[in-house]
Structure formats: structure tokens, C-alpha cells
Amino acid sequence: MSAKKTIQYIRQYKWGNIFAMIRNNYRDAKICTDNFNNKLVVITGATSGIGLVTAHKYASMGANLLCVNRSIEKSEKLKQDIETTYGVVCNYIIADLTSLEESFKVANELNILTKPIDVLIHNAGVFLTKREITPEGFEKVLAIHYLSSFVINFTLMDKLKSQQKARIIMVGSEGHRFAAWGLNINDLNWERHRYSGLVSYGSAKLAQLLSMLVFADYFKNTGVTINTMHPGAVKSESGKTNGWLYKWYKKNVIDRTLKTADCSADALYYLGVSPEIEGESGNFYNLTTLEEPAPPALDKDVALELWQKTLEMTGLSTKN
């Protein structure tokens, strides 16, 4: 990121927003009790963690599921558990969303569905402390958190707009704030900069937020909305092998505000179903509390530059 942009962001940072984020970490999710009978919900990464609990939440409220997972064994178990317990339909697509090819496969399968997609939840993710490159040459954290959701959202734009109603929710993170001075937009694969698991994760989540700004414009006045949600700090053993900065943050911030995955699922249900936020789009939520993200996530010029670069990276430029 240029020195000019860094100075711009420094001037835009507000202590009030940081304090608001800390306060919001203590808030519970708003609850929606409306049913979602016979609606179709697509969830990526639904066999564990937040995705698993969210799948059960939506199914318990009458929704049918289409889950995108890596493991056929875990997907079969999920299908049996959901259908036996709730009497709804739970289908799945097997795909590794670190692969661009498989992200396109998922996008194309979703695009030819005859049934409307009512809610699309991008939940699949990974956190790495060492740089890994996919067979297609992309940094793996960027590929699963950003490129996969971009490919799917872009491919589905016309389908979702034709439905005249749909909600896209991207499971983001307050971790986007670790990319405090913005994206290294000409080095998204971390070939020229020193790799940091924390900053690469933050950069991928920042890219996700920037793409949301542009998608929100494309979906304006169509009945389709797109929002991003920080799911709260869910109890887990993650981060034990990470560096000192993450360990400090986990001990002093995350561990003091831990929430269960049930709270995350409640938030994802509220954002997907509640009439209270009908038409709201392009927002970042800490669970269900509207929050202002870090200044780099609000930079529309960078968002548009990233959009064009992503179209080129993914080969979608000819379709734009």
C-alpha cells in the first residue's frame, strides 16, 4: 500500500470505533423467531464449527439446506442427522474451496438450480501460520476466504437478481483490522512481502469486505442484499501455534469475550431472515450489531481496483 494511502487511513482511524468494537464484543445476538419453512439456504463449510450449528439452526426453523463441504463422509452424516431430526431436505456439493476450479464448479451448479436461493452463507475458511500456495498458484487463505466467495457471488449475480429477493451473508472477521494499512494489492499472493498468518488472514477478510462494497452497488434496488458478519469469538483451540501478536490478542481480547457457536448461528439466522433488516446491504455486523469497519475496508477506490484485478485473476474479466 502506498504511503499516501497509509497517511489517509491514519487520519481516518477513530478511537471511538475501536472502543465500539470492544463494547460490541460483549453484546448478544438479536434473535429472530420467524420460521423459514421450505426456503433454500446454501452454506459453505457446514460440517463443523459455526457452519454446523448454523445448518442445524436453519433446519430447525424449517429451511431446506444445500451444503458445500470437503468431506463426503461428514456430509452424509450431516444429511442424515438434519433430515432425521427436522424432516427437511439437506443436500450437499463436495468441493474444496481453496481450489478456484472447484469454486467455479460450485458456482455453476448453484447457478443452474431451478429453485431460488433464499440465503447464501459464505462460511468456509482456514487460518494458516505458514504460506501455502494452491495448485493454481494462489495463496490458500486468500483463495478460500476471498476468491471462492467472489467467484460464487459473481457467477450468481444474474440468477439472484432475477429472483428479486435473496440475502448473501459473508462470515467475515474483526481480524480484517490486522491489515491496518490496507491491502498489498499488487502482492495478494505474498510473493514479495514477509508472510504473516495474522496479516494474511486480515488481508483476505479485508478483500472480502471491499468486494462487498461493489457487489452491494450491483445489487442495489434488485431485492438482493449482501452483508458481512463477524461471528464473535467462538471457543476453540485455534491459534496455539501462532505468533506472539495473535497470542496477545487472543489472551487480552478474544479470551475475555468468548461466545458459543450457537450465538453465531443465531446471528446468521437473524441476518438471513429477520424483517428488521429487510433491504439493508453493504453493512458490517459484529454478530447483529451494525459496526463501522476499519478505514481500509471503506475505500471505494481500492475496492474498484481490487474488483478489476480479481476479475483478471479468476478469468472472469471477459464476463464483466
The cell numbers describing 148, all together, are 471462492
pLDDT at 20: 85
pLDDT at 41: 98
- Dihedral of the CA atoms 66, 71, 74, 76 (nearest 10)? 60
Total count of domains within the chain:
1
* Segments forming the whole domain that contains residue 186: 3-319
Q: Which helix (H) or strand (E) holds 53?
A: helix 49-60
**What CATH number did the domain enclosing 89 receive?**
3.40.50.720
**Count of C-beta atoms within a 10 Å radius of residue 26:** 9
pLDDT block averages, 10 residues each, the chain of length 320: 77 85 87 98 95 97 98 98 98 97 98 97 90 94 97 98 97 92 92 90 96 98 97 60 56 64 94 98 97 95 96 81
pLDDT at 260: 76
pLDDT at 240: 42
Closest CA to 250 of 236, 229, 264: 236
pLDDT at 69: 97
pLDDT at 113: 97
Q: Is 171:45 a contact under the CB 8 Å cutoff?
A: no
pLDDT at 239: 46
* Owner of C-alpha cell 430447525: 60
pLDDT at 246: 53
pLDDT at 237: 40
What letters, b where the CB count within 10 A reaches 16 and e where it falls short, cover 179-207? bbbbbbbeebbbeeeebbbbbbbbbbbbb
